[in-house]
Every structure is written in structure tokens, then in C-alpha cells.
Amino acid sequence: MTASNWTLVMQGEWMLKFYAPWCPSCQQTDSEWETFAKNGEILQISVGKVDVIQEPGLSGRFFVTTLPAFFHAKDGIFRRYRGPGIFEDLQNYILEKKWQSVEPLTGWKSPASLTMSGMAGLFSISGKIWHLHNYFTVTLGVPAWCSYVFFVIATLVFGLFMGLVLVVISECIYVPLPRHLSERSGQNLRSEEAHRAEQLQDAEEEKDDSNEEENKDSLVDEEEEKEDLGDEDEVEDEEEEDNAAAGVEEERSDTNDQGPLRKGSRAQKEIEPEETEDDVPEQPCSADTEVVEDSLRQRKSQHADKGL
């Protein structure tokens, strides 16, 4: 099976084996696969095999990552056979139709899909590069690092060339506008930019106005709070003055009430000594008694003054 005739598996029932000559597991199943292929006419099935070294594109199309790999195809519907590559198991897989219980490869995983076709192209390019590298190193005897440098330079040149091709294609496809239309479009762009700038300025002015209004409102609120605080302070001062005046009046009333009583008591005290003096018989006075009497009189006068 090669890349040129792989479409044959799209019709009828097929069993495919992907192998490599250097793979030990593939070599162990070669005899079993040959026996299975000889009995293909009896089983009414077609049998084929693919060398991944010679056909890297097909290995990419079927996305082969392990060897050996077996696939079953029935009218373009592909399934992966994951059993051992023994003749009896392969025969029972076909006779008992065990493939019906296996989930088919659908969508992008199908070998006939567009994605797998792209994968086949990538694998084929990588296979050609590998063959070319072997030709440089084995046939021509070029050092491996020289081969790597060659591929690096070739990749850069190819990338630049593809970029140039894309630019040329874009220039060919792109149709320039007439001059008057381009001028109009430029004017429209300028007018749109000016309109956007005006909108931005208006938005900034609105923000500034809103900020100023907020500042004014905050200042008014602060002044009102200060006035309220001043009124409260005045009320407190008036209350304190009223309390002080009331206290002074109370003190005056107390002093007025207590004044006559004190005067009366003082008068009684002054009278009592006189009565006692009248009652006491006259005795000869001395200088000491006179001094004591003078001191007593002074104290009484002082107390009377304080009471007034």
C-alpha cells in the first residue's frame, strides 16, 4: 500500500498493518500476518501493509505513533485494531465481527479528513528531509553539523520567499480606492477624530463642573455646620450666664435673710454683757481688766461689721 493507491481502502473491507523494517515487534508478527493475508480470500477481506519509512505520508494520514499498528476499514469507515497480531485473533476479529463493538475514527481523526491530509503532507515533507539528511551524511560523507546548518539556512530562505509571495499576492488582490474616495475617507477620519476629541473635552468639562458643584456643596455644608455650632455655643453661654445670675441672686437672698438674724444675735450678745455688768457688783478695776474689756469690745465690733 502506497500514497498513490491508498484510496482503494475506501471501498470494501480491508485490514492494514503499519510496520518498519527495523522494528522487532513488527518482525515477530510478520509470519502471522502473511498467514492471515493468504486466508484473505476465504475471509472475503483484502489485506495490505505499509512501510512507514517508505511511506511517511500514510503514517501521518493514519496518525501512527506506535509500531506495529493495525487498522480495519469497512466502506470508508476506519477502526483501530488493538489486539495481538496473531492469526487466530485476527481471524476471529473478522469472522465474529468484533470490529462492530469498536468505536470508529470519525471527524478530524478520519484518514480521509482534511486535517489528516494536511498531516500527511507534513509527514511526507519530514520524510523527504530525513532522506536528504541521510544522503548528505551517509552517501556524501558530509558532517552532521554541516547538514544542520544547510537546513537552517534553507528554512530561513524559504520563509523569506514565502513572505515575499504573500506580499505580492496581497498587492495583486488589493484594489486601491480612487483618489477622491481616499480623500473623503481621510476627511471622514479627521472629522471623527475631532468629534471624539470634542466629546472627550465635554466629558472632562462636565466632570470639572460636577467636582466644583460638589466642592461648593461641601463648603456650604461646612459653613452651616459652623453656624450651628456657633449657635449652640451662644446658647450654652447664655445658659451659663443665666445660671450664674440665678446663683448670685440666691446668694443675695440668703444673705438678706440671714442679715437681721445675725444683727439680732449680735445685739443680744452686746446686751447680755451689759446686763451682766450691771448685775455684777462694782469692784475695783485694774489695768489688766481694762485691757481685756477693750479687746472684747473690739472683737464684738468686728463681728458686728462682718454681719452687716
CA-angle at 190, arms to 188 and 193, nearest 5°: 110
Cα dihedral 295/299/304/308 (nearest 10): 130
Per annotation, catalytic residue among 26, 146, 172, 285: 26
Please say if 146 is a catalytic residue. Answer: no
CA-wise closest residue to 69 among 80, 77, 60, 58: 80
DSSP state of 105: B
Q: Which three cell numbers stand for residue 142?
A: 558530509
Q: Which three cell numbers stand for residue 266?
A: 449680735
Helices marked H in the chain: 24-28, 30-38, 40-43, 56-61, 87-95, 114-134, 144-173, 179-279, 287-307
For residues 81 and 151, the answer to whether their CB atoms sit within 8 Å is no
Per annotation, catalytic residue among 23, 146, 172, 285: 23
Please say if 23 is a catalytic residue. Answer: yes
The amino acid that residue 92 corresponds to is N
Which residues are known catalytic residues? Answer: 23, 26
